[in-house]
Amino acid sequence: MGHDYPRHKPAIVLITGATGDFGKAFAQRFSAIGSKLVLHGRDKAKVDALCQLYPGSIGLVFDITDKNAMKSAIESLPASHKNIDLLINNAGLALGLDKAYEANPDDWETMIDVDVKGLTLMTRLVVEGMASRKSGHIVNIGSTAGNYPYAGGNVYGAAKAFVKQFSLNLRADLTGTNIRVTNVEPGQVETQFSTVRFKGDKDRAAKVYANTKSLTADDVAESVFWAATLPAHMNINRLEIMPTTQSFAGLSVERSNG
């Protein structure tokens, strides 16, 4: 509308966890401006189906907790898709909402393996090439859970706090490389997130989103898109987003009945 602010166009975008709700929204948003997509997921059929929607995209099928498979997959990228401009570290999950003394330790390990180890090792694999090319952008999908504690958030929130600090420390290391790092921190977004967290209990998941207006995956995609298409001299360090219906709870106080 007469306002031709310069936009950056990431040529090649790698999205981890691309077959989930966020991932699909990111793929759609960046394909709309002609970015070439590298789409990662665990399930070959889902990755293939997603790639069909985006001609010229490449699918990578591996479990993000398998570091050897991850390394081979990244090394297998053809020259046409090798120089990743934008890495969206999106693969992640919450499992359970139990108190720390009742939570399943296996769930804790899975969250640490995916949300912390998967994200850091993927970053390490991709950032080296970015540093040598002196260009690139890493967008990490954090969470408000990394900023505000809540009961039952224990390891999920801690993992997302790790992602936030890792993002900021990456920026510190990347001074002089021209590489951008952004931690995007959504609050409540209506996706399969809660169904996964509650291990398929759709009724319990539906209650999280009942009678309110949550963010959508498209809302988050628009935010990531904004940060990633700003001119290359601008770095959004952190971007915390909530639906207007969500804000802050007070601190909790224990009271005796006497």
Residues carrying an active site annotation: 156
Handedness of CA 228, 36, 20, 120 (dihedral sign): negative
Torsion angles phi and psi, residue 32, rounded to 5: -65, -20
Compare residues 145 and 224 and give the one whose CB is closer to ligand 8X3: 145
Of 215, 11, 74, 229, nearest to 139 by C-alpha is 229
CA-to-CA distance for 75 and 37, rounded, in angstroms? 16
For position 145 contacting ligand 8X3 by CB under 6 A, the verdict is yes
Which residues face 241 on adjacent strands? 186
What number of helices (H) and strands (E) belong to the chain?
10, 7
Q: Nearest Cα to 94, choosing from 31, 51, 150, 178?
A: 150
Q: Is 20 in the site for ligand 8X3 (CB under 6 A)?
A: no
* DSSP element (H, E) containing 166: helix 154-173
In the list 89, 143, 154, 167, the residue contacting ligand 8X3 (rule: CB under 6 A) is 143
Site string for ligand 8X3, 181-200 (x = CB under 6 A): ------xx------------
- 224 binds ligand 8X3 per the rule CB under 6 A: no
Q: Which residue is nearest to ligand 8X3 (CB)?
A: 143
- Our finding on whether 47 is near ligand 8X3 (CB under 6 A) is no
Stretch that binds ligand 8X3, among 34-42, 48-56, 143-151, 247-255 (CB under 6 A): 143-151
Residue 38 in contact with ligand 8X3, rule: CB under 6 A: no
Distance in Å, CB of 107 to ligand 8X3, minimum: 14
| Residue 95 found at the interface with ligand 8X3 (CB under 6 A) | no
| Reduced 3-state DSSP string for 192-241 | CHHHHHCCCCHHHHHHHHCCCCCECHHHHHHHHHHHHHCCCCCCCCEEEE
**Minimum CB separation from ligand 8X3 for residue 102, in Å?**
18
- Binding window for ligand 8X3 (CB under 6 A); candidates: 67-75, 139-147, 161-169, 237-245: 139-147
Q: Closest distance between ligand 8X3 and the C-beta of residue 108, in Å? A: 15
Nearer to ligand 8X3, 73 or 184 (CB): 184
What is the C-alpha separation between 235 and 191, in angstroms, rounded?
28
Report which of 137, 155, 153 is spatially closest to residue 89, judged by C-alpha positions: 137
Can you give the binding site for ligand 8X3, defined by CB under 6 A?
Answer: 143-145, 187-188
